[in-house]
Amino acid sequence: MGLDDDLKHKAEELKGKAKEAFGKATDDKSTEAEGKAEQAGAKVKQVADDAKDAVRDAFDR
């Protein structure tokens, strides 16, 4: 998709990494798990956007 979406998904992934690290540092398994889930969600969105771009590029050819 667009650069805005890429940046938004990357920021979401970084937020998840920070939350995971905070959870590890404080021994809070719930926060750590939330961070991992946020990272996974962001990665899924990135893959979906990449797939949309690939389909769009294929139709443009």
As a whole number of angstroms, the longest Cα–Cα distance in the chain is 52
C-alpha span between 36 and 8 (Å, rounded): 17
Give, for all 61 residues of the chain, the pLDDT tens digit: 578 888 999 999 999 999 999 999 999 999 999 999 999 999 999 999 989 988 988 888 8
pLDDT in the model for residue 37: 98
pLDDT in the model for residue 59: 87
C-alpha span between 25 and 6 (Å, rounded): 29
C-alpha span between 4 and 11 (Å, rounded): 11
